Amino acid sequence: MKPVQKLTITEVALRDGSHAINHQYTLEQVISVAKALDDANVPYIEVSHGDGLAGSSLQYGLSRTNEMELIEAAVSVCATSQIGVLLLPGVGTIQQLNEAAKLGVGMARIATHVTEADISAQHIARSKELGLVTVGFLMMSHMAPVETLVEQAKLMESYGADTVYVVDSAGALLPFQVEERIRALKQSLSAHIGFHGHNNLSLAMANTLAAIQEGATWIDGSVRCLGAGAGNTQTEVLVAVLEKLGIETGVDVYKLMDLAEEIVAPILQKPQEITKGSLVLGYAGVYSSFLLHAQRAALKFGLDARDILIELGRRKAVGGQEDMIMNVAAELAKSNYPLSSV
């Protein structure tokens, strides 16, 4: 592996992991996880609804606890770690960003579909005005050619983003595809480059290492793999692998192991593994948070969730179109869609 400068790790279990538990985090759970991550010296901890600020809704899933209360609680127990939030323009607003900043967050990640960076301009600009570390988050990065990804990343950089991420929201990218995307951004941007992976094809770790090899220095992980679909790159495993490679993170791997085993594992409603549903997410290139929605729709209409996800992939559904899932399921049920379509 090429020589690598120190990496910055962002832990996403308290945001992306919200998808896996139907957005049912309690204050006590967030406090215990955030405190342990802070003790392990994880630089950034993302806390919000799985779909970002103001994501709690019938469409995306209702939160058990108001996210601003979760954010405030996480900030209160962290001595060194910075709390970050995710914001999807059109879901969250400047108002929620301002409120989160008042609570003491240190980072805002502004997320758009990979071809829609232009809608992030005011949110990135406001984040910078608030003095936050500001990240552009290009979701579903597998859905655009490399040239388009570069164009969109340049827009986010021009708006003021300190870091721009390649986000494999569906867990659909292969390592060589990650390499070419990160390499192109590295050659075209002055901003830091980040990578966020999902494990739907069992490639989150391989893709993360490929990203690092090509120059990504901001990397996401999720303790115990707690995230949408089959989860994200597993943070405690990632830190252990990086130590074996001689790459500095500053994170205490023993403390992460203890956190994963003793605190996060009991939160999991079921083990994070590659099931037939999460595998189809990566195979079809569908947003990882669609899985539970598709499973509920399948039960309602007597379908195979895989057929729903494959059809969503055919229609190139993207994050924010969760309302399509029930409609697609109803159409498939009405048309006697074959269950052997995978």
Residues acting as catalytic residues: 19
Measured over the CA atoms of residue 54, residue 121, residue 162 and residue 226, the dihedral's sign is positive
d(CA 275, CA 277) in angstroms, rounded, equals 5
Two structure tokens written together for 224: 């115990």
Two structure tokens written together for 275: 């099931």
Asked if 317 and 285 touch (Cβ cutoff 8 Å), the reply is no
Distances (CA, A) of 177 to 151, 159, 247: 17, 26, 23
Asked if 217 and 191 touch (Cβ cutoff 8 Å), the reply is no
Q: What is the CA radius of gyration of the chain?
A: 19
Please identify which residue in the block is written with the tokens 């790790």: 9
Check whether 337 is labelled as a binding-site residue.
no
Which amino acid, one-letter code, is at 246? G
DSSP conformation class of 264: I
**Selection from 256, 255, 246 nearest residue 212 by Cα:** 246
Size of the chain, expressed as the number of residues it contains: 342
Check whether 198 is labelled as a binding-site residue.
yes
Check whether 196 is labelled as a binding-site residue.
yes
Parallel/antiparallel/unpaired status of strands 133-139 and 218-221: unpaired
The DSSP bridge partners found for residue 219 are 9, 195
Check whether 44 is labelled as a binding-site residue.
no
Residues at the annotated binding site for Mn(2+)? 16, 196, 198
What residue numbers does the annotated binding site for substrate cover?
15-16, 169, 196, 287
Residues at the binding site are: 15-16, 169, 196, 198, 287
